[in-house]
Structure 1
């Protein structure tokens, strides 16, 4: 064998079939999705996300890969290390650039070590540490790895940090009412009231698959997307071209849910999905209607999952209000390697204390589950 490691300055220069053979069926790891960030200038020069994908070859065959980025800030990661960066700054040390393995702007658990060969996984883990050290970076971070990747980083001695997200599971429901019947009386009543109020406001919701989405509907969605950031006094991470590109390159994985009043669009929610999972991604509204967010982002998506027999609906980061809509808390994690030994000790102490608080929080969330008591 002649194994060799390389670093690529982007995925666009890599063969589509070779990458997808490693990424599998996960749409958010696909060449189409990751390359859209680059070709739309959502990552790259001037964005703070510089691609440096780690590749492992056996002679000419690509046998392993990791999505890697050099980061010059901590935006768009959903694992918050701003306090760490501030501590570095107070001590006159640079925290950026750092090395991050993640799907940009996408807090979704998935594989990070893209290979089927155990020897390749160990080589790539070691390579990430070497890249960090050789380039004198402060740290390396692996965000939202799947169980297999997480176990290997843990065994390699990386610092583990725990998190929590919310996921809904389709228990082979026959329809939305069947799902509601599994909830406690007060939660079931509240959801029905919310949906009635939205309907009474004259809202009509339409689910549009990727191949059916028109240019005008994409333009409207982007207006909504921009408005969400504007309301939070921020700037959108993704360009209009990003959505144009994925609309063309992976329409089979896209679901756009739009809300209309008097045949005029007022809000939109974009989802990515495959055969097993729907990923809620982006939403926005140009007109406020009470409970419209819940209808568009949760109830309509749940109905789609039931109709299409999709098992999971990943609701993304944060949002305790998802509990009342039938979601359950689930654990996530990230892994970190800190170059400075003194900071490594301090951050490890912080992570240990944070984990204790998170465990209590997760237990509290479980106690607030909306489903009927089995007793």
Structure 2
């Protein structure tokens, strides 16, 4: 992927009263991180949390920016991969923050993808009952989804993101240049979350993506605009429903199926989050068609676009060991949207017309999963 250095600076506000913050999107912003952090907490210190892969590529530049702005900082490096979102790594990070004697007004900085952001944000939310927190996402998926909105957490054997807190960042710094080092597979996985915003409630944006996907993947202004549009969409939803008591659940389109697939495959890399979400969104559209909510041509259109950009859209495209309908249904029952034992799904009446479906019968889902394994 190439990056066009004419990409303008875009700012997306997240309006949450006294917890409001800005998302800054543009080229070369990592070099400004020190100045922005110094302005946020004059005289404060920072703990930069990152993973081994990102540390090699981007940590020296960030530490140099912090040093230039006279922000004392140290780095905490975790293993790369979903397995890092664990109690063991959380304990190790919390101990490092306390050992460094960071105070409540000091800042934990997440430099990395969703795993790093979720882990670092969780630690920031619980150490000293809440520390300052900044997100510098380095993957497309984190830039358009997990870095915005304050959700943090870790995984357990029972499922993904089942332990965590809501803890909003002070700001989010999205440097589009950082995506130049992102492997194509992970860029495509992040794109699944971009597509999601069009499928939820913006059919015009989905149509724009169908027409402009090659330009988005090439980098430059089209990529920045896709990121900004995604962040605007998420900011609107978060501002209206910060703690997912209502329509924020729409942001989980494809995630109930997707999280179950991730857990079934195992958090080892055979299926990354965005790939699982892509399959989950296509499944949500097919289930919606089966139930009579969604025109069949819309489900086909979604599947066609996902395949056109190299994403998965079919349960048969995951390892055979992860396709057992009974196990998938059991994993879906651990979803955070389960209420009084009843499963809630995000379904759709068509592209841009998603809705929250309560009390979807388990036997309907079981039959659907059986059909999906035989496609």
Give the TM-score band, short-chain normalised.
under 0.3
TM-score (norm 1): 0.25
> Which structure is larger by alpha-carbon Rg, 1 or 2?
1
Higher relative contact order (CA 8 A, sep 6+): 1
Could you say which structure has the higher helix fraction? 2
